[in-house]
Amino acid sequence: MSFTSLRLSSSLQKALADQNYTEAYPIQKEAIPAILNGKDILGIAKTGSGKTASYVLPILSKLQGGSISKNRHIKTLVLVPTRELAMQIAEVFQQFSSALPVPIRCLAVHGGVSINPQMKAMNKVDVLIATTGRLLELVDSNAVHLSDTECLVLDEADKMLNMGFQDEMNRIFALLPKKRQNLLFSATLSKDIKDVKQVLLSDPLVIKIEAKENTLDLIDQIAYSVAEEKKGPLLRNIIKRNKLEQVLVFVSSAHRADAVAYKLSKNGIQATSTHSKKSQGARTENLRKFKTGKLRVLVATDLLTRGIDIEFLPYVVNYDLPRSPKDYIHRIGRTGRAESPGEAISFVTENDEHHFKVIQKKAGTRLQLIDSEIALKK
């Protein structure tokens, strides 16, 4: 289905055409008309399926013809679990808003940076993309008001509704008007998502885009059996031997990320790390360099499993295995996006083997472990 049949405003239609967006993804085909009609949405679709545009486009289309909002009274609130995701979504809003005759003012707010510039920038904002902690700080400072919010979006709703965010989410829900449009989007349908339908959504349209059996076909998955002390040499060997560029490496901790990046750099491979202990400025700059191809290897914790969107990222490496099969899917889902092939490489120690079998079973795949000693001799 083409975007021209989805009843978006003419300005957005032109912007989509100018950027060579012609065919809508399945989640967009179903969500956009329903959102334009004011329906509550529960959208479940895999990572990289176009979920962000499926709500950004109709929200901007509706705001074009709406009344001017009171200063510091937000019309649309988008809640996200990470700073990186907030900035990523804000980029999409701004990308399409800039093409409108009268641009819709959008702003991302999050922790890790000074709150004062965000407070000053809140004037006449219509769409606010926020992490929960920083949003409540702004509310407590009287910098933003949610009493006139017409639309609430929870992106990565499964993560937003888990126990770690529960108190903050309850405070925010209490500040919002009861009559509003609710849009929840997630890659997975967890128990938290099922339960929330009873309290947060009013007669929702449930859109579940089933993952095709060959959904991982675009991702070439490879696994190496490797001793813990040989992980570093194996990683360097793979990158150098195969001349890999733009490699995202996942590790288990911030300390580990720094150590792996240091070793890569010491061995002539341009690399840096990103994790929650880095300043927001450093995280943003490292991600920018990586996305634009100016950085060969980015070593990250799971902070980035849902906060990075690179359309043609070719390589993901699980230097340390993730804790759950769901995290494995999110990690390798950074590659093989937008119908482009990618490669996911996992390092499996002897102690990891049982856990890796569980991951494979849940992910619906089965990999033969390659002996790293043989690989290192090549």
11: domain CATH number is 3.40.50.300
Residue 371 pairs in a beta bridge with: 225
Which tokens go with 173? Answer: 């829900």
Task: Give pLDDT, residue 44.
Answer: 87
203 Cβ contact list (under 8 Å, min separation 6): 39, 40
Q: Are residues 295 and 365 in the same domain?
A: yes
Provide block-wise average pLDDT over 10 residues at a time, the chain (378 residues).
81 83 86 94 80 94 79 94 88 89 92 92 93 95 95 88 80 93 83 64 83 61 94 95 93 94 96 86 85 92 65 87 85 68 91 93 85 78
Residue 341: Cβ within 10 Å count: 13
Range of the domain at 318: 219-377
Q: Are residues 226 and 358 in the same domain?
A: yes
Can you give the three-state secondary structure of 217-282, one letter per residue?
Answer: CCEEEEEEECCHHHHHHHHHHHHHHCCCCCEEEECCCHHHHHHHHHHHHHCCCCEEEECCCCCHHH
- Interhelix angle 254-266/231-241, rounded to 10 degrees, is 50
Task: Give pLDDT, residue 213.
Answer: 43
Cα 50 to chain centroid, rounded: 11
Task: Give pLDDT, residue 214.
Answer: 42
Task: Give pLDDT, residue 74.
Answer: 95
Q: Are residues 224 and 139 in the same domain?
A: no
Task: Give pLDDT, residue 146.
Answer: 95
Task: Give pLDDT, residue 296.
Answer: 95
pTM: 0.69
Please tell me whether residue 203 adopts helix, strand or coil conformation.
Answer: coil
Which tokens go with 204? Answer: 């929702």
Q: Are residues 178 and 138 in the same domain?
A: yes
Q: How many Cα atoms are found within 13 Å in the side-chain-facing hemisphere of 37? A: 11
Query: How many angstroms separate the Cα of 306 from the Cα of each of 82, 142, 146, 366?
Result: 8, 30, 26, 24
CB 225 within 8 A of CB 348: yes
Q: Are residues 188 and 236 in the same domain?
A: no
The answer to whether residue 354 sits within a structural domain is yes
Q: Are residues 299 and 360 in the same domain?
A: yes
